[in-house]
Structures are given as C-alpha cells and as structure tokens.
C-alpha cells in the first residue's frame, strides 16, 4: 500500500499537511483548522484496516479535508471496497470533495455530508471504524457503532492521549464492554483500539 502511492495523492497529502501545520501556529480558529492526524497515524490505521474482515462497512467519522481518508483509500483500493466517510461542516465538505476529485480516489470513497449520529441508521455491519470527530460525541458514537462491529472488526478512536480526559467516559465504557479487547497505542495523538472479539 505504501510503496506505490499515486503521485497525486502524495502531492495532496503534502499540501494538506502544510495547511494543517500552518493552522496550528497562526491562530486559525479551532473549527476552521483541519485538525488532521499525522502521517504515522495514517499508516497505522491503514495497516489495521487492511486486516479487517470483508463482511462489513469501512467507515470514518470526521473527514475534515480528507487527509486521513486518503490513507484509508489506499486500503480501499487494495481490498476493492469503498470507505464511507462522514463530515458535517460545509467548508470541510468542500475541501474534501476537492481532495477526492484531485487525487482520483472517488471510486474508493463515499463522502456522506451529514451528522454521523443522525445517519448511523443507514450503516449496516461495521468491519472498521475510525472515529475522529468532536470529542463530545465519542461516547454516543461508540454506543451507536459498538453493536454493529463484526467479530474481528475494529473501532479506532483518535486523540486517546492528548484528549484523554474529554473521552475518558467512552474509553471506560469500551474497557468495560466484554465484547471488545481494547488498548491505547502511543502513536500520534494516541489511538484507542477496540477489537470485537469472536466469542
């Protein structure tokens, strides 16, 4: 997946990384910032997604400008599936559309322009879920996705270290849920991995 990334994807990733970096130092207000994952997190979630079972949907909650989705599109291409990614803000939707059109990944990505929590009813079984939205909705997202995750499927929540206090209720709920094996991995901002066990 990582050895033959299309030049257009690399160029757009570089472009978005530069904007994200600039956002973080120039005082751009929070809701306008791209707030992307770093590249190592992109690689990490892609490696995990590539090993998820094929019998459910691959979803992302929080597209922003589509940087993390570009990493997941590498998986979609390899597995012959389509990632469904949810974004609520019109400015971010516009940027994400630009990202997907410029890089030619539209056949691997479906952008759903809606609040995930009101759209979750449209989702079937879930093989892979990357949760990277406002921290206030993590608990509700976990509650609505957990029962959809297929055995050996994975839910990953971003910001498990830098926003630990804000998402602690979700982390504690997942840790107490006997259907899941969970672990926080200290990569990027901290990735909280929940694997649906097979028993």
Ligand X SMILES: C[S@@+](CC[C@H](N)C(=O)[O-])C[C@H]1O[C@@H](n2cnc3c(N)ncnc32)[C@H](O)[C@@H]1O
Q: DSSP character for 58?
A: E
Binding letters toward ligand X, positions 36-55, x by CB under 6 A: xx------------------
Binding letters toward ligand X, positions 84-103, x by CB under 6 A: --xxxx--x-----------
Q: What is the closest distance, in whole angstroms, from the C-beta atom of residue 179 to ligand X in the complex?
A: 24
Among 46, 64, 73, 103, binds ligand X (CB under 6 A): 64
Residues 139-168 that bind ligand X (CB under 6 A): none
**In angstroms, what CA-CA distances link 88 with 68, 93, 94, 96, 119?**
16, 7, 11, 11, 11
Among 56, 62, 153, 188, binds ligand X (CB under 6 A): 62
Long-range contacts of 20-29 (CB under 8 A, 24+ apart): 20/67
What SS3 state is found at 103?
A: helix
Q: Does 120 bind ligand X (CB under 6 A)?
A: no
C-beta of 40 vs 55, nearer to ligand X = 40
The b/e string for 25-48 (b: 16+ C-beta within 10 A; e otherwise) is: eeeeeeeebbbbbeeebbbbbbeb
- Euclidean distance between CA atoms 170 and 81, whole angstroms: 29
> Under the rule (CB under 6 A), what is the footprint of ligand X?
35-37, 61-62, 64, 67-68, 86-89, 92, 115-117, 132-134, 137
């Amino acid at each position: 997946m990582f050895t033959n990334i299309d030049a257009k994807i690399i160029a757009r990733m570089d472009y978005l990384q530069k904007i994200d970096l600039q956002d973080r130092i120039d005082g751009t207000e929070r809701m306008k910032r791209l707030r992307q994952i770093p590249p190592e997190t992109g690689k990490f979630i892609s490696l995990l997604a590539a090993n998820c079972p094929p019998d459910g949907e691959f979803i992302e909650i929080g597209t922003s400008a589509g940087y993390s989705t570009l990493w997941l599109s590498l998986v979609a291409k390899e597995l012959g599936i389509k990632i469904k990614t949810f974004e609520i803000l019109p400015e971010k939707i516009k940027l994400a559309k630009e990202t997907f059109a410029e890089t030619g990944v539209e056949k691997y990505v479906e952008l759903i322009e809606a609040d995930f929590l009101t759209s979750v009813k449209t989702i079937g079984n879930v093989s892979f879920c990357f949760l990277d939205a406002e921290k206030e909705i993590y608990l509700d997202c976990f509650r609505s996705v957990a029962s959809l995750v297929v055995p050996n499927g994975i839910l990953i929540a971003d910001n498990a270290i830098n926003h630990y206090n804000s998402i602690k209720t979700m982390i504690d709920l997942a840790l107490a849920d006997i259907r899941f094996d969970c672990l926080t991995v200290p990569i990027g901002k901290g990735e909280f991995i929940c694997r649906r066990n097979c028993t």
